[in-house]
Amino acid sequence: MKKRPFKERYPTLRSFLRGDGPCHYIGDRYIEGTNIYDRREWRGVADTAYDFGWWLATWAKMGAFAAKNPVRILRAFWRYRWLSAYLAAPHMVDKW
């Protein structure tokens, strides 16, 4: 994949804010010879703010869960070692 300059991908500020790239095909984001994306998809400010809101809601729910009974959570961390990884990785939760 040939990298295109930013101004070529988004010629105007409006096209950047809306996420209107020249081509939204998923194959355009692959690096040649690999199966790796060169960047994440940009879908505009509104969609990014929406996703951020849900990410923040996930953190709020997890914080409320931990604050409800902190002693119980600390004991659970000691007994179930995977719990710390579960709470430290909210990207596992927000995919539901």
Identify the bridge partners of residue 27 per DSSP, sorted by sequence position: none
Q: Rg of the chain's alpha carbons, rounded to an integer? A: 20
Give 19's contacts (C-beta < 8 A, 6+ positions apart).
Answer: 42, 43, 44, 45, 47
Q: Whole-prediction pTM value? A: 0.53
Give residue 70's pLDDT: 92
Consecutive 10-residue averages of pLDDT for the chain (96 residues): 71 79 61 68 80 86 90 88 74 52
Give residue 35's pLDDT: 67
Instruction: Give the start-to-end residue ranges of the domains of the chain.
Output: 1-43, 45-96
